[in-house]
Every structure is written in C-alpha cells, then in structure tokens.
Structure 1
Amino acid sequence: MNKIVRGIICILIGLVIWFAPIPEGVKPDAWHLLAVFTATIAAFILQPVAIGTASIIGLTTVVITGVLKPGQALEGFSNTVIWLIVAAFMFAKGFIKTGLGRRIAYLLMSKFGDSTLKLAYTMAATDFIVAPFTPSNTARGGGIIYPIARSLCTAFGSEPGPTAGKVGKFLIFSSYNSVIISASVFLTGASNNVVVMKLTQELFGQTITWTQWFMACIVPGIVCSILIPYILYKIYPPELKNTPEAKEMAYQELISMGSMSRNEKILLLIFTGALILWATSSITGVDSAFVALLGLSFMLVTGVLTWDDVLGEKGAWDVLIWMGVLVNMAAYLAKLGLITWFAKLVAAQLVGISWVMVLVLVCIVYTFVHYGFASNTAHVMALFSAFAIVAVAAGAPVLLTAILLGVFANTCSTLTHYACGVSPIFFGSGYITQSEWWRHGFVLSIVHLVIWLGIGIPWMKVIGIW
C-alpha cells in the first residue's frame, strides 16, 4: 500500500466520523474533535507522512474548521510534561557525547563480566543506570547498549550465522529486553510513559509523580531484570559460558578512554543532582520538568553540551511537536465532555463484573494488540484512553490502571521485530531470525504479564498506589 492510499484511508476515517450521526449527549465540537484526533492517530499507525507532519495537519485542521480556537489548539506547547521529555533527550545526548554511558558499561563489565550470564546482567544494570535520563529506547539502546553488546559478540568470535550461538543470540536479545524493562521502570525511561502520565491527569484529574511510578515499578521491574535474562539463557544457551576475556576487553577499553574527562565528571554531578531532586520533588516542590531544564542549563553553561547540540537533537523537537498537539487534543476531548460520556456508556455495560477481572483482560488485550503497531507512543495515543476508561468504569483504581497500561505499552515491545524504534536495530544485527523473535517474544510477553499482574498489583497495594 503506497503512501497516497494510506493518506486517503486516514482522511476517510476522519470524514466518516465527522459526518456520522452525533450520539445523544455529545457536543458537536467534541465529536468533530474526535474525528480529527482519530484521523491523526490513524496517520500515526499507517504513516502516510511523518508523525510530526500528521500532527501539524491535525493542529491546523481543528483551528480552520472552528473546532478549537487558535489559543486552545496551541495550549499543549506550554505543557511542562512535554518539556520534561525535551530536556531528558538532552541528557541522553550528554551521555552519548561525553562517553559517560560507555564508561559506566565498561566499568561494570570490568568487575562482573567473567561469564556470559553476568555480561547480560551487566548490560541490564548499565541500562538501568542510564534509563532515568534517556526517554528514548532508540537513543539508549541504539546509542549505548547495542554498540557495546555487538562489539562483545565480535570479541568472542560470535557473528551472525554459524557462530551466532557462541554468545550473540543470547547477548543481543537479552540486551534488547533489558532496554524494554528499564523503559517500564522509570517515568522518564520512555517518552510514551510521560504521555500516559499526562493523559491520566487530563482524563481522571490524578497526577502520577516520578517517585510514584518508580516505587510502583521497581519491585516487579527488578524481578523481570533478574528472571528474563535467565530465561533467555535457557532458551539460547550460549556455547561460551565463561568469558574472562570480557573483563580484559572492558579494562582495555577503559584504558583507551583514559581518565574521566572534565565533561564526564560534570555530567555525573548533574546526573546525581537531578536524580535526587526528582526523587524529592514532593518535598522540595520543584517541578520535574524544571529539574530537567535546570540540568540542561548546567550542561550548556559548563560546555558539556553546546547550543548546536541542542538544536541538532531532532528527536526532542519531534516529540515537542507531536506530543504538544496530540496530548492537547486528548485533553480537549475530556474538557468537551466526550470522555465522561464514554465512561458512563461503558460503566452501564459492566455492572456486576469484578474490576480485577476487567483490568486483567484489558491488560492482556492491550498487550497483544501491539502486533498491529510499530510505535509505543502510537499505541498509547490510540488505545490508552479507551482501555483506561473501561477499567476505571468497572471500578479499577485510576493510578493502578494507568501505571499498568503504561508498563504494558513498553513490555509489548518483546512481541515483534518492529515493535518500537530500537527493535529494528537489534533485529538488524542478524543474530535472531524473525520466527525466533516472534516465538520467544510471545513467551516473554506472557512472563511480563504474569510478573506485572501477579507481583505488581499486590506490590502497588502494599505501597499505597491503590
């Protein structure tokens, strides 16, 4: 299907909704906004144009048609949550530019890299450390984790093909899954998490703080971080079990990097300070976005990053555009009463059904629908509101529902080799076939569902999330 056909399909979807009979109790502006919003989401999925382009077209359409006033349509760009993501992208740039991310990985490898399984855990630990400041699986996994994992495979003579089983199959797939787990644990570990946070605020009037998300996810996240590499170790038993050469390789890499540069030391201080301020935001009252912007300010003033670096970080400005537009449309769907109408409609159909059962079923369907998506963010924008409303209408606690759906929008990335931006990078290494990825990815998705529902729900009860 070429781009023109896909574009026509998106437009037709919008027109069908626009001209369909408006249900009783729904305002015309709300219904027409739903038409534009749905067409824009369809463009996210079918991608006849870039996501940013689709967002700009949607933004222009709601104003030209009189659905929203210009000021209302542009409100999303003043959203502090979006600026949190923009600033966090700059942290990722700093980790890659200064080499601090690589240094952390090699330092851990030099201490714990004497077996293949330990190497996998080391890569997981590296990603866990860097994840709070890199809200992009592509930046973190593709820019830091993948290059190191791939170079380790080469060092052990494990290349795609006959030697892939030495360490490559296991280490590449394990490293990929570690990136997915870290994205789930930290609110700032993936941009789609912040979309969940903002939609929860707009739909239900409840805010998820950085600390709440972390505390809710840390225990099931650690269980996943320990269990999934071990499961893959059994699925792909590497021919090389002991890898003392990895410690030597890491040591040599650290020697070649030399002592920590001035910029690495400064970034480490900024990194630590930001983490402390985020964790204590409920005490200090400092908004999370401005903690990140404060860190960015220090990076710019000290020369860790230049303004050209900031201008060149296309991913951050791309997120600013599409998230500013889409989240604002979703917010106005709530303000114009469409969400309340839908919630009442759903609640009437769920009388007598346990909210726990509804929430479990919602999470399962929400996970496997991702076979039709190539973006975690598109998944969230298309499905989160409807699925969350269904669960909450059945009686499920808002924060529990929102966090679980936020997590499963990440863990579903195990399913396919096109699931999110970083998937094609690891799949493109050539170590894992498509059939292997789909088979084992399905198994891992079940593991995630069992852990996050079986351990996550009780744990979130213990700490007072619900």
Structure 2
Amino acid sequence: MSKTSRNWIIVLGLELIVWICPTPEGLTPMAWHLFAIFIATIAGFILQPISMGAVAFLALTFCAVTGVLKTGEALMGFGNGTIWLIVCAFFLSRGFIKTGFGKRIAFVIIKYIGRSSLSLGYSIALSELVISPAMPSATARGGGVFYPIVQSLSNAFGSSPGPTAGKIGKYLMQVGYHTDAVTCMMFLTSMAGNPLCVGLAESTLGVEVTWMGWAVAAIVPGLISLFLVPLVMLKLSPPELKAMPDAHNLAVKELENMGPMTLQEKVLAFVFVLCLILWATGSWTKLGATPVAMLAVSIMLVFKVLDWKDILSEKGAWDAMFWMGGLVALATALAKSGFIAWIAKIIGTAIAAANLGWIASFIAITLIYTYSHYCFASVTTRISAMYAAFIAVAAACGVPGLLVALAFGFFANCPISLTHYGNGCGPVYFGAGYVSQSEWWRNGFVICTINVVIWLTIGMAWWKVIGLY
C-alpha cells in the first residue's frame, strides 16, 4: 500500500467513525457531523494525501453536498477580511522582491546588525516589540511589515525554499512568526482580539482591565519569552550560517552596486510607510487593516510597481486563500453550531466537580483553553467562542477576577505558535515554503509549551508581586 493510500484511509476512516457515532446529548446532528468533517480536514492537513488547498476544497464540497452547510455558509471564509489581508500581504511581499526594495532594506540591516544569525533574530524580535503596541493587526504587522523584510534577509544570504532553506531562511521565518505571537500577548493594542477580552471580562465578571494594567502584567514574562524565541529556534532549526564575519563588507558592496533608489522603489517605500501609519492609526481613522492593504496593492498596480500578471502568478497567495478560507469557514460554523460551548460546559462542570483548589483549577482550565487552539483558525473567533465561558468557570472555582481576565487574554494569543494557521500571518510565513508542516508543528508546540511554562511560573510569581492575587 502506498503512503498516499494509507493517508487517505486514515483521513476518511477518522471522519466515518466520528460521523456514524451517536450524536452526544446536547448537540444537534449537524454540529456533530460538522465536527467529523473538521477533524478529517485537520488530519488531511497533517497527512496531506493531496495538497492542503485541495483538502479544504473537498471538505467544503462535502459540506455543501451533504447539506451540513449551505453553499453560502461553506464559502463564507473566502469573503473573510483576514483572508484578503493575507492575500494582500503576499502581493506586498512580491513588490519588495520585484523592485529590489526588500533587498535594499535587508542589506542596510545586515550592514549595521548582521554579525550572526542570532543578532538578526534579535533585530526582528526588537522591531516587533517596538512596533506592536501601535499596530493592533497581528496579520498586518507580521505578514505585511515583517515578512517581506525577513524574506529579503533570507534571499540576501542566498537562502531560498528548497535545498538552501536551511542556510538561514528557515530560522528567520520561524523567529518572525513566533515573535509576532509573543508580542500579541504583551499589549492590549497589539492584537485585534485583545480589546474583545477586556469587554467580555467587564460584562462577565465586572472587572476593568486598562492598557497599562495589561502591559504591566505582561511585561516580565513577555520579555523573557521574546528573549528566548531566537535562542530556542537556534536549537530547533539551527541555521547553517551562524557567524557572519564578512556580512558588513558584503552589505556595503551590494548597496554600492545597487546604486540610488529607483522610482518604483520610492513608490513602494511610500506605500510601506503609508501602511504603517494607517495601520497604527486605525483606531482613529476607522480604517480596517484589510482596506489599507488593498489600498497599498491598488497604488502598486496604478504606478506599475506590480502588474496584473504578477498578481495572477502569486501562487502562494491563492493557495493560502483556499486552505485558510476553507478552514475559517469550517471553524466558524463549528463555533456557531454550539459545539464549542458544549465542550466548554462539559470541561467546566468536570473541573468544578473535582474541587481541585483555585490554583490547580486555574492551571487545568488554562491548559485546555490554550491547546484547544488546534481547532481554531482565528484568535478572535476562539475568544468569541470560549473566553467568557472559561473565565466564568475559572472565577467560579475561586480564581481572582482580575487575574483570570488578564491571564485568559494572554493565553488567547500564546497558542498562535502551535500551527501554521494559528493567526493571520501564519499562512504568509508558512506559505514562503522554507519550513515543512511537520517541522512547523513540532517547533510550534515546543515554543508554545515553553511560553506556557514561563507565563504559569515566572508570570504567576510576577502577578503575585503586582497584587493580582
């Protein structure tokens, strides 16, 4: 039996087993069947008997044909704003490559910071830390701002997807993604779903969380996590290029060879700065991250930084749209079906009945809340589906209200690292093609678990010092 045939049997067998099992009490048959399709889709993503985009398309087709979802519901993921932000991020990156502007930025960074792969990793982490409080879209920040720079840095050292991926590109891509996840935890305004946590905490527990209160509680464990990401990735995916003694001279020479900026580079530089400003001021301008990204692509098309052939040939964008859009549709429908609320109720009842004491209950609920993110393709969706229910359960177990409100806000973002669909910039970094899915998931689990340990030990100690409990 071939590997492909075996993987098909596993995926379809898993779906069939769940599908034919009796529907548990408290769920509708539609919700249970949708769960069977979702589980099979995730298994298909892991085993890949065919490409991920094709797996997602088959899953949506099956939903529509069997009536589990209406056609409009099955296709709603492709109209999701985050999906189009991801697609636009790919196009922005294409502009960086085509004009050479990304290469220029990369060599400037190498000129001043490029002493080693680790120093480049820390330059990404520090840049994320500085920009994240002012940019609430993690997808825009990671996919639209940092990914093109990370890709350009990789290319500058001759590291491309395939045989040369391990030179440094594989390392930098993962550092970029995981530092984005950490900074999402650190500030109320660094991720779009964080203010939702604040609103739900106030309506559910009557607890008020301020910007400064969030930042103070997150700063110690956050800085430790951010410091460790480049170091841990150096062990998990060690780059072949570690020390770069000639990097400075190389960068100077390459910048001289490139000469002054071209008109297209200047246009792209303007677009890049415009995006930064509009993304950072979105709370005042009321412009969402996706319209800003669409505006950027439109300007590039008008000024011929990109032409329509470039758009059509950007296969990574369209592939990401298919598999991510399909997954978003399934995950959203699963949450709306009542399946997530049903699971949360079962977990809450079991933990409350165990009478573990508030600290043990808090840790148990936090771990379930964190690792359940394998079932979600959006942090905001998971917050909407689970945050209020889980903080209510934790508070009922005796966990102090302000502690649980903040901690579950932090741990809403921590598991972004777990998968390549953990948040909106995941498909962008993963779609670059430097890292296999198995390595991505392995490294993501390690990074996420390290962060969980840091925030539940050092974080808990810090929260005691500042009086959260």
CA distance in 2, matches of 1:86, 1:7: 29
- Determine if contact 2:60/2:326 at 8 Å carries over to the other structure: yes
Report whether the alignment pairs 1:135 with 2:143.
yes
CA distance in 2, matches of 1:329, 1:56: 11
* From 172, 179, 184, the counterpart of 2:181: 184
CA distance in 2, matches of 1:186, 1:445: 13
What is the Cα deviation at residue 243 of structure 1?
6.1
CA distance in 1, matches of 2:328, 2:290: 16
What is the Cα deviation at residue 242 of structure 1?
8.7
SS at match of 1:350: helix
What is the Cα deviation at residue 19 of structure 1?
1.1
What runs of 5+ residues in structure 2 fail to find an aligned partner? 132-137, 185-189, 203-210, 395-403, 423-428
Change (3 A) 1:173 1:234: same
Amino acid at match of 2:178: I
Amino acid at match of 1:43: G
- Determine if contact 1:142/1:425 at 8 Å carries over to the other structure: no
Instruction: Show the counterpart of 2:156.
Output: 148
- Determine if contact 1:26/1:338 at 8 Å carries over to the other structure: yes
Report whether the alignment pairs 1:36 with 2:33.
no
- Determine if contact 1:79/1:324 at 8 Å carries over to the other structure: yes
Change (3 A) 1:331 1:122: closer
Instruction: Show the counterpart of 1:109.
Output: 110
Instruction: Show the counterpart of 1:270.
Output: 271
Instruction: Show the counterpart of 1:312.
Output: 313
Amino acid at match of 2:154: Y
Instruction: Show the counterpart of 2:304.
Output: 303
- Determine if contact 2:125/2:226 at 8 Å carries over to the other structure: yes
Instruction: Show the counterpart of 1:23.
Output: 24
CA distance in 2, matches of 1:242, 1:317: 37
Change (3 A) 1:134 1:49: same
Amino acid at match of 2:31: A
- Quote the RMSD (CA, aligned, Å): 5.0
What is the Cα deviation at residue 421 of structure 1?
4.3
Instruction: Show the counterpart of 2:48.
Output: 47
TM-score, with length taken from structure 2: 0.68
CA distance in 2, matches of 1:460, 1:308: 53
Amino acid at match of 1:184: A
Q: Which moved more, 1:142-151 or 1:123-132?
A: 123-132
- Determine if contact 1:300/1:307 at 8 Å carries over to the other structure: yes
Instruction: Show the counterpart of 1:403.
Output: 413
Instruction: Show the counterpart of 2:400.
Output: none
TM-score, with length taken from structure 1: 0.69
- Determine if contact 2:111/2:248 at 8 Å carries over to the other structure: yes
What is the Cα deviation at residue 31 of structure 1?
1.2
Instruction: Show the counterpart of 2:399.
Output: none
SS at match of 1:331: helix
Change (3 A) 1:421 1:104: same
Amino acid at match of 2:176: V
CA distance in 2, matches of 1:237, 1:59: 38
CA distance in 2, matches of 1:461, 1:92: 44
CA distance in 1, matches of 2:234, 2:449: 17
CA distance in 1, matches of 2:201, 2:64: 26
What is the Cα deviation at residue 223 of structure 1?
4.8
Instruction: Show the counterpart of 2:329.
Output: 328
Report whether the alignment pairs 1:357 with 2:344.
no
Change (3 A) 1:426 1:145: farther
Change (3 A) 1:410 1:310: closer
Change (3 A) 1:403 1:93: same
Q: Which moved more, 1:82-91 or 1:395-404?
A: 395-404
CA distance in 2, matches of 1:265, 1:457: 48
Change (3 A) 1:392 1:175: same
The within-5 A match list for 1:336-347 is 336-347=337-348
CA distance in 2, matches of 1:57, 1:71: 15
CA distance in 2, matches of 1:337, 1:116: 46
CA distance in 2, matches of 1:74, 1:233: 40
CA distance in 2, matches of 1:455, 1:339: 30
SS at match of 2:143: coil
CA distance in 1, matches of 2:232, 2:125: 14
SS at match of 1:135: helix
Report how many residues are paired. Answer: 405
CA distance in 2, matches of 1:136, 1:277: 12
What is the Cα deviation at residue 3 of structure 1?
0.8
Instruction: Show the counterpart of 1:372.
Output: none
CA distance in 2, matches of 1:317, 1:341: 35
CA distance in 2, matches of 1:74, 1:90: 23
Instruction: Show the counterpart of 1:256.
Output: 257
What runs of 5+ residues in structure 1 fail to find an aligned partner? 152-159, 161-167, 188-192, 367-376, 413-419, 428-433
